[in-house]
Amino acid sequence: MSDELAAARAKRVAEMQNLPFDGQAYKRLVEAGLTWLRTNQQTVNALNVFPVPDGDTGTNMVLTMQSAYNEIKDLGHHKVSDMAAGVAQGALMGARGNSGVILSQIWRGVARGLEGEEVLTGANLAKAFADARDTAYKGVVRPVEGTILTVTKDIAIAAEAALEETDEPITILEKLVAAADASVEYTPELLPVLKQAGVVDSGGMGLYLILEGMLRYIYGEPLDTPTMTVQPMAALEFEEAMDSVEEGQDWEVVVDFYPENELELKPFYDALEEMGTSIQVGEGDGMYRMHIHVPLENRYLPIDYIMGLGTITNIAMENLLAQMDELNKNSEKDRLELTNIEPGEIAIVTVSPGPGISRIFASLGVAAIVEGGQTMNPSTQELLAAFENLPTDKVIILPNNKNIILAAQAAKEVTVKEVHVVPSRTVPQGLAAMLMHNPEGDTEKVAAKMIKSLDDVRTGEVTTATRTVEIDGVNVETGQVIALLDGKLVLAATTVEEACLSLLKKANIEDYELITMFVGADYARSEANRVADIVQEKYPDQEVEMQDGGQPHYQLIIAIE
């Protein structure tokens, strides 16, 4: 650090120390943590252990923090305890994915530690993170070290140790950030799967960035300049941008190019930020892909700019508002007929990753469907809203994804209704559970039968690898077709056909009777039919069925029964 920067920091810290760390200051710290996390959201998303398109920890944590901040942004509370309680409530209702739910528990613990406090002090800050550690660990049935839980624990230990030297909250925050940084870097030593993949824990990194953002605010440092990293090309998820088109940024432009010289990321980002928003950059085999949202009059500016940097190989331009209008029209056409529930009956709420799968769930009698799955985990609030107004107090939730189970359990805790969570980790498990549904039965007994049925089906998933990695002895290259069996990476292949056949062999398909293949949104039905015919020819004693799933990213989801 230069002497000039150190002097500027010291001056800013001295100014901040003279201000009360009350509720309004707490609000500004939370906003800073959210801003810095959002700035580095894709960095966190890229820390995905498995090479599958679900690296959404950064997105889930940003959305959870955004909900927390939305809860307090207009509050005028000056007691830090009141503002902390608001953050905890907002984070709980907006929690998405396991990382978001655990983060909400951390803020809940912080609020407990600050209960009744007027301002932040070193002592109550240390107590807040001790309570955050305890609350977070209690919220997980089987805590795993080397995750965000470990980082929270190390932060609490550092805070308690710092109190022996000072009661000054800024100094203690500095020590917390340093401890979080060191803890994140050490996570691969505690969790072998991280070491195999060559990454640190993504949830822990997200928590570190939140705290670092708070400290950067105190230092007076910028919060809108991202850590300049480039994602693997296959990891870019442009479709998510359709969910929220910024006002005036109506066009999406994607450019593939080979730079003449080494690409300097900071000036590249700086130039693009003058043109538009939602900037993402990916790289693969020396080729770069740039994504940006721009207003109508700027739609050619990124192309002209990049043309001066190298050779353009492909350009894609889309009118986002026109696309959204079309999506809205299609959604009206595809409206589902859900089961009407009478008072006293059991309502089933299920999470579905695709329209075809939703139609199957609807035909089996579900009362409510929440869109979600890989890369799109619904929040606690969305799950709660799905059943809160149903005319019954008996509810069973099928998450159908391991990263949604905690959010479902959180929804269960904030309602007066009798809610049971059947921990289905895949769509085939959820469908198997639906066969046990009896709307007029005893809720606890029906849920128990559903849970037991989860073991009656195995799940295969075929997708495209988003990164190069070695996991459990399987070597994977970016862009290869990979297969997972019951959530475990089992093979890499060159084609979907090869992956499917090898997957079924590893599943000992001769021991089963039925193979149901759910076709993804981006996989041609004709090609899926061809693969299904090959499977049927190879395994004539098994029944092979084909269903339109419509799920993103995964060419096939396979139920083996």
**Cβ neighbour number for residue 2 with a 10 Å cutoff:** 7
382-404 b/e (C-beta count within 10 Å ≥ 16 → b): bbbebbeebebbbbbbbbbbebb
Residues 128-156 have a mean pLDDT of 93
Query: Residue 467: which residues within 8 A CB-CB, separation 6 or more?
Result: 48, 51, 232, 234, 235, 476, 478
CATH 3.30.70.260 in the chain, residues? 231-327
Q: Which residue has the higher pLDDT, 487 or 227?
A: 487
334-456: CATH topology is Rossmann fold (3.40.50)
The residues near 542 (Cβ < 8 Å, ≥ 6 apart) are 509, 510, 512, 513, 514, 515, 536
Helix, strand, coil percentages (3-state) for the chain, rounded to 5, are: 50, 20, 30
Q: Would you place residue 444 in the very low, low, confident or very high pLDDT band (cuts 50, 70, 90)?
A: very high
Domain 3-219 has CATH 1.20.810.10: no
- The model's pLDDT over 341-391, given as tens digits with 9 standing for 90+, comes to 999 999 999 999 999 999 999 999 999 999 987 767 899 999 999 999 899
Residues 323-330 have a mean pLDDT of 52
The yes-or-no verdict on residue 323 having pLDDT over 60 is no
CATH of domain 458-560: 3.30.1180
Strands (E), 234-327: 251-259, 277-284, 287-294, 310-319
Strand order in the sheet with 554-560: 488-493, 481-485, 458-464, 554-560, 514-519, 543-548
Position 240 scores a pLDDT of 43
97: CB partners within 8 A, 6+ apart: 56, 57, 60, 377, 403, 404, 406, 407
The pLDDT value recorded for residue 375 is 67
- Name the H helices within 95-201: 97-113, 122-138, 148-162, 169-190, 192-197
* Intervals of CATH 1.25.40.340 along the chain: 3-219
Lowest average pLDDT, out of 226-240, 439-453, 502-516, goes to 226-240
pLDDT value for 239 = 45
Where are the domain boundaries for CATH 3.30.1180 in the chain? Answer: 458-560
Query: Which pLDDT belongs to residue 508?
Result: 95
Rounded to the nearest integer, the mean pLDDT of the chain is: 88
Proportion of the chain above pLDDT 70, given as a percent: 91
Would you say the pTM of this structure is higher than 0.75?
Answer: yes
- Predicted confidence at residue 321, as pLDDT, reads 65
Express each pLDDT in 462-509 by its tens digit.
998 877 888 888 998 888 999 999 999 999 999 999 999 999 999 999
Q: What is the pLDDT of residue 238?
A: 47
Residue ranges of the chain assigned to CATH 3.40.50.510: 334-456
DSSP string, 9-77: HHHHHHHHHTS---HHHHHHHHHHHHHHHHHTHHHHHT--SSSSS---HHHHHHHHHHHHHHHHTT---
| Residue 278 in this model has a pLDDT that exceeds 90 | no
Burial (0-12, 13-18, 19+ Cβ within 10 Å), 201: buried
- Of 12-26, 276-290, 395-409, 528-542, the range with the lowest mean pLDDT is 276-290
- pLDDT in the model for residue 455: 94
Give the rounded distance of the alpha carbon of 153 from its chain centre: 22
Mean pLDDT of 270-291: 81
Q: Which residues contact 164 (CB under 8 A, 6 or more apart)?
A: none
pLDDT at 12: 82
pLDDT for 231 equals 53
pLDDT of amino acid 227: 53
Residues 6+ apart with CB under 8 A from 19: 25
pLDDT tens string 67-82 = 999 999 999 989 999 9
Task: Determine the average pLDDT of the residues in 525-547.
Answer: 94
The pLDDT score that the predictor gives to residue 319 is: 76
List, as one string, the DSSP characters of 453-504: HGGG-EEEEEEE-SS-EEETTEEE-TT-EEEEETTEEEEEESSHHHHHHHHH
Query: CATH assignment of 231-327?
Result: 3.30.70.260
Q: Which of 52-61, 76-85, 222-231, 453-462 has the lowest mean pLDDT?
A: 222-231
- Greater pLDDT, 449 or 237: 449
Tell me the per-residue pLDDT of 188-224, one tens digit each, with 9 for 90 and over: 999 988 888 888 999 999 999 999 999 999 999 888 7
What sign does the dihedral 383-374-369-436 (CA atoms) show? negative
Residue 232 has pLDDT above 60, yes or no: no
pLDDT at 43: 84
